[in-house]
Structure 1
Amino acid sequence: DDGSATADVTVYAEVYDANKALLKEDEFLAVSGKVSEDRFSGGMRITAEKVMDIGAARVQFGRQFSFSVTGSLDLAQMKTVLTPHRCATGLPLIVHYIQQGIGCEIRWPDEWRVAPGDALKQSLVDRLGVAGAVVEY
């Protein structure tokens, strides 16, 4: 409950070989597999069936990528920032536009799906001043 618990994850050869490029020290990964009781340690043990990096997990489990814009809306600049992050298998893009206390939700067309990585979030902050870009699950 306090976030300090740990669990051993066993990755057998077949899964390891298919994902060895992802297995790096201090990299966050999402693992799905079978959970069982570890009678030796008294904790839980996970046998990995699928391993993915955080970006792939965001796309697989995320519903949409969204952020809010207050003030003026420069669509040309927004497209320039978003273009390098477009991805046909990415997440739908939603912009919450708020102007003078009135807001609306702008759903971008499917051809504007984006890869919801940290680079996109950083570009939105650096170039558009957008804070609070999130993957909605």
Structure 2
Amino acid sequence: RGNYRFEPVTDKVIRYGLGAVKGTGQLAVEAVVRAREEGGPFKSLYDFCVRIDRQRINKRTVEALIKAGAFDAIQQNRASLIASVDRAFEFANATAANAAQVDIFGDSEHGSATAEPELVDATPWGVKERLTFEKTAVGFYLSGHLFDEVSHEVRRFCKREITDLLDSRDQQVIAGIVSDFRVINGQRGRLAIFKLDDKSDSIDATADEALMNANRNTLKDDELVIVSGRLQPARGGFEARFQVQQVWDLASARCRFGKFLRVAVNGKAPDIARLLKDFPARTEQSEHGELVQGLPVRLSMARGGAQVELQLGERAKFFPTDAALASWTAQAEAGKAAVIYE
């Protein structure tokens, strides 16, 4: 429905301008609008590619529109649409060739319309992949927020939202998605400056060079981090800033804040040796010596109304990545495996 520019629909609704999608341009959008006005709403990706002026719109433009969500009313699976762009252009070119043949011979026997092929079967993108592509197309998350995917678990151990930060010099723990990450040269070495956003609010944050280097795989755009630090209140025309002193990704936070993984079993234990081999606890050097990063495991069994939990020993700690938790869950009774935080 969109045109090149943003348009008010009601007092509270604005229709997004297709010209604001990166990779389009005014001529391309005008070609889309013209085709839509002449032939009505597009029925499919193939219908779109057949009807638009392909001299004005190339494959990259179509891919940008898909990533932005412009085709969601036609097909929700953006991954399938992206995988089908080449097929759709081939179909459009074949349809145009058939139409040209009809014009030459003056009858339809020498050129007939071809039935639209199926879209390429592709696994739908997860929330992070979908929103990351969306951000490349429109510049920000439009249909959701990266924090949505993890908020339920994160809020079990990190209760304080950014909007509820206390005006205090005490240490506080918050979580958020990193954005606008950049590095500057400060008075005491290089300094990382970035925004943390947990959907309730966002705040500027800083991390010194040592902390930045120790967490270079975590402190980057579009990544979830859980951080501990102190709030530097707004003063002298400067906005409030959060001085980060510790950083965890979600797996490390599970080790730091989680008590254990509870795994339901009923007559058949998981392949514990294999799981520990695939996802061993991690060791890291600190000023206090070697530290083990791992989550303990308890096996939970129920019989005739009675329940018992078996705590596995220290050697049974594992590093709780998403893949590790999925593997424990797959071997648990009825898929019942959960990190217990309190």
Structure 1 vs Structure 2 CA RMSD: 2.6
User: What is the identity, as a one-letter code, of the residue corresponding to 2:280?
Assistant: R
Change in 2 beyond 3 A, CA 1:17/1:114: closer
Residue 303 of structure 2: aligned partner: 99
For the Cα contact (< 8 Å) 2:261–2:337, is it kept in 1?
A: no
For residues 18-97 of structure 1, the aligned pairs below 5 Å read: 18-39=214-235, 40=237, 44-69=240-265, 72-75=266-269, 77-80=270-273, 82-83=275-276, 84-87=278-281, 89=292, 90-97=294-301
Q: Secondary structure at the match of 1:29?
A: strand
CA distance in 2, matches of 1:18, 1:109: 30
User: What is the identity, as a one-letter code, of the residue corresponding to 1:108?
Assistant: L
Measure how far apart 1:123 and its partner are: 1.0
Establish whether residue 15 from structure 1 lines up as the match of residue 15 from structure 2.
no
Q: Deviations over 1:116-135 (max 9, x none)?
A: 22112211233444234114
Measure how far apart 1:80 and its partner are: 5.0
Residue 134 of structure 1: aligned partner: 339
Measure how far apart 1:107 and its partner are: 0.7
User: What is the identity, as a one-letter code, of the residue corresponding to 2:300?
Assistant: H
TM-score w.r.t. the length of structure 2 is 0.35
Residue 326 of structure 2: aligned partner: 122
Larger Rg: 2
Residue 112 of structure 1: aligned partner: 316
Measure how far apart 1:103 and its partner are: 0.9
CA distance in 2, matches of 1:102, 1:78: 24
Q: Secondary structure at the match of 2:336?
A: coil
Change in 2 beyond 3 A, CA 1:91/1:127: closer
- Higher strand content, 1 or 2: 1
How many residues are treated as equivalent by the alignment? 133
Change in 2 beyond 3 A, CA 1:103/1:56: same
TM-score w.r.t. the length of structure 1 is 0.77
CA distance in 1, matches of 2:275, 2:299: 12
User: What is the identity, as a one-letter code, of the residue corresponding to 1:78?
Assistant: D
